[in-house]
Structure 1
Amino acid sequence: MLPKRTLAALTATVAAGAVTVGVVVASDPVPPDNGAAIKAAIDSSTPKNVILIIGDGMGDSELTIGRYYQNGAKGAPLATEKLPFTGSLLTWNLEYGAGPDYDPGYVPDSAPTATAWSTGKKTGDARLSQGMSTGETVPGSNAGFETTFEIMKSRGKAIGNVATSEITDATPAAPSSHISRRACHGPADTRSLCPAEAKTAIPAGLGSIAEQQVDHLLDVNLGGGKNRYAQDLDGNVGTPETVIDYAVSNGYKVVEDKAALAAYNGPKKVLGLFNGGNMRTKYNPLVAAPTPGAGSETTKCTLQDRGNEPSLLEMTRAAVRKLRNDSDGFFLQVESASIDKRDHASDLCGQIGETEQLDETVAYAMEFQKRNPDTLVIVTADHSHTSQIVSPTQDPPGFYATVETADGAPMRVSYGTGKSAGGQSHTGARVPVAAVGPQASNVMGARDQTDLFHTLIGRP
């Protein structure tokens, strides 16, 4: 882990002009000197509240695609681009083997990357806040993998978890469960795939991700995944008792549409299950294709009917409204999950819409931080992905799509890591991280993803 920068060292870095506050657009004849603003933004105190916003699969390329489509090259910067302190995170994971030393893996999935910032520890693909072993199907040890949620709850803080995926998916599951395989969402999944970790195992395990989320007593848990929570509890197969029933018996109010979420203002903890699987995306799909590609220089993304599902922003607002009542502060993790999922599917418009959802949520978090300066806001990604902007006159191999940006110009995006349109995969490039608030300056520089854990829990 890189050493913590002192205030003096940061001031020296600022004086050297290595970091900027805000964004300089092309029309500015002379970029401003931001040294004074940077000094004023440095705050070494411990934050009362933390809002961590994750763009799943949101590398620099995905951010740039979203910015050009929404605002154009010369238009306003994204909210994410306005955060004062920026850096990058290396996302490598570990490969299973005999141990105790494990080879690095350079193209991780979301489970070990989410585990990295949730625990400060490395692990292997598919594994959530649990140590290594000889293989994915062999459970490791949970010892030493205390998560951000567990630490913050022990300090008396309220805890919130928001995602547009199934709420039991890898990123929201990492701080709220310990399990060897990310596919063990509900009790039935766990009985099949992780039997040694089921609650009915001998000795008893911690159970499925859904059961562990209830056992963690998260104050707010919002997203998709109703079908996982509707599975029968361990030991109750064939009876009507499900994880939803288990949550209700543990003091949760269950809401299933945006009207119920907006209306609820009671004392109970809130479990929002807004879709049987992943929540719907903002835009209808535009799936890349081989030559001549999909879309055109005049193609615009079209809004999808999301029915009664809340947006990412609506869920985040509801979560903050509930969490901020706690006098000891709160810790909230928010994920725009389908930047990644639509990147996998070569769906350019689906991907762009989820980047837009994330950015409007970042703008809201920044406004909250201005009114509550003891709040730390961090925006980052779990791993990078496949989409790349290429010349609109280029005929790239593989799959591509073209849309018209806010500039009125064509933008062509190529997907080149899979042999089928729906088979794109992650890449191993570093990902951006940006922050504002107490200890935000600790994200500066090129760091390992595990370093973020220490900033999230508040350096002493």
Structure 2
Amino acid sequence: MAQSRVWTTHEGKQAPKNVILLIGDGMGPEQVKAAGMYAHGTPGKLSFEQFPHQGEVTTYSANNSITDSAAGGTAIATGVKVNNGVISMAIPGDGQPLKTVLEKYQAAGKSAGLVTTTEMTHATPAAFAAHQQGRSQQAEIAQQYLNTTRPEVLFGGGGAGMSPKAAKSAGYTVVINRQQMQALDTETVTRVSGQFGQGHLPYESDGVGDLPHLREMAKTALNILDNDPDGLFLMIEGGRIDHAGHENHLQRNVMETLQFAETVAEVFKWAENNPDTLIIVTADHETGGLKVLKNNGQGQFPQVSWSSHDHTGANVGIYGWGPNSDQVSGTMENTDVFYLLLGQQYVTGD
């Protein structure tokens, strides 16, 4: 368990103008290692592994040593540990909605976006822009996106509560494939709902067809959100790393992790031209109990073992670049990520 940190805003220190959080759902250290071996012949060379500040994060929830994505996402989004299945509400506690980092930055005048390879209303993105007692309430989550929190960009899988009709009536431009997304005038469009397919986007290793890759969604989202002079908050999820972990499917797991790493590289390229940008890369939990046994070299999948078809309680990595990323160090609680994203500094703790 990590030592508890107390966070504060130091006088004269402002939150970064742009804050970008990338979550590899189910991406533990061994997933990162396996992907690095396949892509580069050696671990340690993925895009985010080059970031100057690195540490690890605990993942347990309020009621379980092994979290789900709802509680894991909520801890990162709100700084509060909740019970598994809960979307950003104080359960345990008074049951009230917990204000998320996305909502806090919206209140400060920033534009906001959510990008994922899962259903748009899946637990991780929902934790940033919805409040529900149960993660399965996807129709209600969609309603809250479109009518209450209203992020400027919502890119992910379609269906599961989302519909083009509802998004259009809420004032969103709707795109349903890569061509339509890339044809958007990113300088003038104000709110976009990308509803790609019906359900989760396809696995990278199966081919995505006419649907966009995660890196393409991220690039378009940034080009839309960066028109705001007050800055942006963007959460990007590589959500299907988790699904491949549940399946113990190494090829899919590696390819999803590599697409996630390419997305981080795309975001980094943007950030180099946009000073005052904080990038944080982490995971909500590990999935599958993956262990790399033998490196078989570049272009070959390593020899591995799996110990589970579910989530595990393993700590996950955290990687930071940009203003305030020096607060990333040692072993942190997942709830610390919330304060880190808000530009706060810790005053006690390890």
Note if contact 2:100-2:128 (Cα within 8 Å) is conserved in structure 1.
yes
Partner of 2:282: 380
Note if contact 2:182-2:220 (Cα within 8 Å) is conserved in structure 1.
yes
Structure richer in strand, relative to its length: 2
Counterpart of 2:320 in structure 1: which amino acid? A
Partner of 1:453: 338
Looking at structure 2, the residues matched to 407 and 115 of structure 1 have their Cα atoms a distance apart, in angstroms, of 37
Partner of 2:134: 181
Looking at structure 2, the residues matched to 84 and 390 of structure 1 have their Cα atoms a distance apart, in angstroms, of 25
Looking at structure 2, the residues matched to 412 and 387 of structure 1 have their Cα atoms a distance apart, in angstroms, of 14
- Give 1:368 deviation, angstroms: 1.8
Alpha-carbon distance change, 407 to 178 in structure 1, aligned in 2, over 3 angstroms? closer
Note if contact 1:389-1:411 (Cα within 8 Å) is conserved in structure 2.
no
Note if contact 1:384-1:429 (Cα within 8 Å) is conserved in structure 2.
yes
Partner of 1:271: 193
Looking at structure 1, the residues matched to 230 and 292 of structure 2 have their Cα atoms a distance apart, in angstroms, of 49
For residue 30 of structure 2, give the secondary structure of its aligned residue in structure 1.
helix
Q: Any idea what the Cα deviations from partners look like across 1:171-200, whole Å, max 9, x if unmatched?
A: 1100110001101111xxxxxxxxxxxxxx
- Give 1:250 deviation, angstroms: 2.0
Looking at structure 2, the residues matched to 312 and 405 of structure 1 have their Cα atoms a distance apart, in angstroms, of 26
User: Could you say which structure has the larger radius of gyration?
Assistant: 1
The partner residue of 1:78 within 17, 22, 46 is: 46
Looking at structure 1, the residues matched to 9 and 179 of structure 2 have their Cα atoms a distance apart, in angstroms, of 47
For residue 373 of structure 1, give the secondary structure of its aligned residue in structure 2.
coil
Note if contact 1:4-1:442 (Cα within 8 Å) is conserved in structure 2.
no
Note if contact 1:387-1:413 (Cα within 8 Å) is conserved in structure 2.
no
Looking at structure 2, the residues matched to 6 and 445 of structure 1 have their Cα atoms a distance apart, in angstroms, of 20
Partner of 2:85: 126
Looking at structure 1, the residues matched to 54 and 14 of structure 2 have their Cα atoms a distance apart, in angstroms, of 18
1:106 aligned onto 2:65: yes
- Give 1:6 deviation, angstroms: 11
Counterpart of 1:259 in structure 2: which amino acid? Q
Q: Any idea what the Cα deviations from partners look like across 1:31-68, whole Å, max 9, x if unmatched?
A: xxxxxxxxxxxxx6531000100000111011001100
Partner of 1:142: 96
- Give 1:227 deviation, angstroms: 4.4
Note if contact 2:141-2:161 (Cα within 8 Å) is conserved in structure 1.
no
Note if contact 2:157-2:198 (Cα within 8 Å) is conserved in structure 1.
yes
Looking at structure 2, the residues matched to 246 and 279 of structure 1 have their Cα atoms a distance apart, in angstroms, of 20
Looking at structure 1, the residues matched to 141 and 297 of structure 2 have their Cα atoms a distance apart, in angstroms, of 40
Bigger relative CO (Cα 8 Å, ≥ 6 apart): 2
Counterparts of 1:276-315 in structure 2, within 5 Å, are 276-283=198-205, 304-315=206-217
For residue 313 of structure 2, give the secondary structure of its aligned residue in structure 1.
coil
> How many residues align structurally?
338
Partner of 2:311: 426
Note if contact 1:157-1:328 (Cα within 8 Å) is conserved in structure 2.
yes
For residue 161 of structure 2, give the secondary structure of its aligned residue in structure 1.
helix
1:247 aligned onto 2:196: no
Note if contact 2:121-2:138 (Cα within 8 Å) is conserved in structure 1.
yes
Note if contact 1:220-1:270 (Cα within 8 Å) is conserved in structure 2.
yes
Counterpart of 1:106 in structure 2: which amino acid? S
Alpha-carbon distance change, 407 to 165 in structure 1, aligned in 2, over 3 angstroms? closer
Counterpart of 1:261 in structure 2: which amino acid? M
Looking at structure 1, the residues matched to 102 and 229 of structure 2 have their Cα atoms a distance apart, in angstroms, of 17
* RMSD between aligned residues: 2.2
Note if contact 1:89-1:448 (Cα within 8 Å) is conserved in structure 2.
yes
1:214 aligned onto 2:214: no
- Give 1:281 deviation, angstroms: 1.1
Unmatched 5+ stretches in structure 1: 8-43, 96-104, 135-139, 187-207, 231-243, 284-303, 393-402, 418-423
Looking at structure 1, the residues matched to 70 and 192 of structure 2 have their Cα atoms a distance apart, in angstroms, of 25
Looking at structure 2, the residues matched to 272 and 121 of structure 1 have their Cα atoms a distance apart, in angstroms, of 30
Q: Any idea what the Cα deviations from partners look like across 1:198-232, whole Å, max 9, x if unmatched?
A: xxxxxxxxxx00100112111000000324213xx
Looking at structure 2, the residues matched to 172 and 413 of structure 1 have their Cα atoms a distance apart, in angstroms, of 30
For residue 173 of structure 2, give the secondary structure of its aligned residue in structure 1.
strand
Looking at structure 2, the residues matched to 52 and 91 of structure 1 have their Cα atoms a distance apart, in angstroms, of 17
Q: Any idea what the Cα deviations from partners look like across 1:208-267, whole Å, max 9, x if unmatched?
A: 00100112111000000324213xxxxxxxxxxxxx333212210010000000011143
Alpha-carbon distance change, 254 to 94 in structure 1, aligned in 2, over 3 angstroms? same
1:66 aligned onto 2:66: no
Note if contact 1:148-1:453 (Cα within 8 Å) is conserved in structure 2.
yes
Q: Percent identity over the alignment? A: 34
Note if contact 2:9-2:344 (Cα within 8 Å) is conserved in structure 1.
no
Partner of 1:51: 20
Counterpart of 1:160 in structure 2: which amino acid? G
Note if contact 2:293-2:305 (Cα within 8 Å) is conserved in structure 1.
no
Q: Any idea what the Cα deviations from partners look like across 1:76-113, whole Å, max 9, x if unmatched?
A: 71101100001111111112xxxxxxxxx211101111
Unmatched 5+ stretches in structure 2: 346-350
